Amino acid sequence: MNKIEEFVADIEKANTVRAYRQHINSYFSILKTDPEKYFDNGRDYNQDFLEFARAIHDLSPCTRAARLNVVKLFLEENDVPVSRKILKKTIKRIRAKPLTHDTIPTNTELKAILQHGTIKDRSLFLFTATSGMRVDEALKLELEDIDLTHDPVKIRIRGEIAKNGSPRISFISSEAKESLLEWLKVRDDYLRQACAKTINSPFAHQKDANDKTIFCFSYHTALRMWTRLITKSGYNQRDRSTGRYIIHIHSLRKWFETRMSMAGIPEAIYQQLEGHEGYMNGSYKRYTDQEFAEYYQKGVKSLLLFEKESTDVTDIKILLQEKDLEIKDLKQQLDDINKRLDKGVSLYLAQELEKLRKKK
């Protein structure tokens, strides 16, 4: 067993193993050296680590942090700790602002994007958008994880599919439920066709005819679906610095947060529904399933896209909030002008009084 395989041998999750391999292999690829001979050459390991950090500076902060952390652990596993001085240098660079300027779509924009999709597209993205779930979590759900009889539809995210390993619940809107039911009508046919397409292909990953997941396709497929939708709808603008789409697949979680916040739902509620680790560690109040459901019902109207009234009202609220901020800023500017005028008038009067005194 080589050193990389020894390092990942005790890791249980297959996705984590793949990610760790990728990060470590990128390290040796950049340094152009063999991992099996690396620790026998008496290299300057701190300098290598710093060179690696510089080479990946164009990646997003989260990706850089993940790669550097895994490589650091790998080096420590092989009795080569990275110096604190070098770690400080790399951490300082990671704390830079996000490279891509993200845009959160309005309800009207998201509606326009989804109108260009098939039932498969609309089902997945309404599901993730109205639940706050990560796309890769939703792709691992099975039908038994969903209670379609509950109002609103309840989702149980198992610990083994949750990103942070903590089980939780969430919900979906009535529109998402409707799309999901339509998708389930054609899901089996889709899976059979996908299996037939890949069975004789030497390049495609062979589909499993016994796949139990609701959305029986890969994250890569979901990403292509989203890219096609934003391209067809004309919302495929890219960030000039990074070239990444500014309305990307992860914008749906931010959309969920914004809508629930605008509806007056407490942050601790929607952050726990999304599975943010800071709210799942027990230091925040733990709500009952019924309390979560009641709060979700209060905010769900802001998540509706195809009921014209709810869509328009949500977007109007956002515009009004922006106008309120503009008015507040203008009031502040006016106050500053008045203060300067008052100060100028007072100074002028003082000067005139001084002139009169001198004349006397």
Answer with the residue of higher pLDDT: 127 or 343.
127
What's the pLDDT band for 110 if we cut at 50, 70, 90?
very high
Residue 66 CB partners (closer than 8 Å, separation 6+): 19, 23
Query: How far apart, in Å, are the Cα atoms of 23 and each of 16, 20, 177, 184, 319?
Result: 11, 5, 38, 37, 43
Residue 168 confidence (pLDDT) = 93
For the chain, the structural domain boundaries read 3-94, 107-306, 307-360
> pLDDT value at position 313?
56
36-45, 131-140, 155-164: range with lowest mean pLDDT = 36-45
Comparing 64-78, 138-152, 246-260, which segment has the lowest mean pLDDT?
64-78
Query: Confidence band (pLDDT; 50, 70, 90) for 63?
Result: confident
Is-contact 186 122, C-beta < 8 A?
A: no
Higher per-residue confidence, 185 vs 44: 185
Residue 96 has pLDDT above 60, yes or no: no
Class of residue 213 by CB neighbours under 10 A (exposed 0-12, middle 13-18, buried 19+) = middle
pLDDT band at 145 (very low <50, low <70, confident <90, very high): very high
**What is residue 208's predicted lDDT score, i.e. its pLDDT?**
85
315, pLDDT greater than 80: no
Assess whether the previous peptide bond of 202 is cis (omega < 30° from 0): no
Q: Per-residue pLDDT averaged across 308-320, rounded? A: 55
Q: What is the pLDDT of residues 153-187, one digit of tens each?
A: 999 999 999 887 889 999 999 999 999 999 999 99
Output the average pLDDT for the chain. Answer: 84
**Does residue 359 surpass a pLDDT of 70?**
no
Does the 107-306 domain belong in CATH 1.10.443.10?
A: yes
Burial class (CB in 10 A: 0-12, 13-18, 19+), 78: middle
pLDDT band (50, 70, 90) for residue 326: low
Whether the pLDDT of residue 85 is over 50: the answer is yes
Residue with structure tokens 């019924």? 290
Q: How far apart are CA 193 and CA 151, in angstroms?
A: 33
Q: Tens digit of pLDDT for each residue in 194-251?
A: 888 877 666 556 788 899 999 999 888 999 999 999 999 999 998 877 678 899 998 9
Of residues 37 and 10, the one with the higher pLDDT is 37
**What's the confidence (pLDDT) of residue 95?**
52
Find the mean pLDDT for residues 23-34: 89
Q: What is the pLDDT of residue 212?
A: 95
pLDDT band for position 146 (50/70/90)?
very high
Over range 247-271, report the average pLDDT: 91
100: pLDDT confidence band, cut at 50, 70 and 90?
low
| CA atoms within 13 A of residue 167's CA, in its CB half-sphere | 8
Name every residue whose Cβ is closer than 8 Å to that of residue 70 and which is 6 or more positions away in sequence: 19, 20, 23, 24
For residue 309, what pLDDT is reported? Answer: 47
Most confident of 21-25, 83-87, 343-347: 21-25
User: Could you give the CA distance from residue 36 to residue 19 in angstroms, rounded to a whole number?
Assistant: 20
Q: For the beta carbon of residue 145, count every other beta carbon within 10 angstroms.
A: 17
CB contact at 8 A, 304 and 176: no
> Which residue intervals of the chain are DSSP H helices?
3-8, 14-31, 45-55, 61-77, 84-94, 107-114, 119-131, 135-138, 174-198, 219-233, 251-262, 267-274, 289-299, 308-359
CA–CA separation, 310 vs 313, rounded Å? 5
Evaluate if residue 272 carries a pLDDT over 80.
yes
Give the position of tokens 């990128």: 26
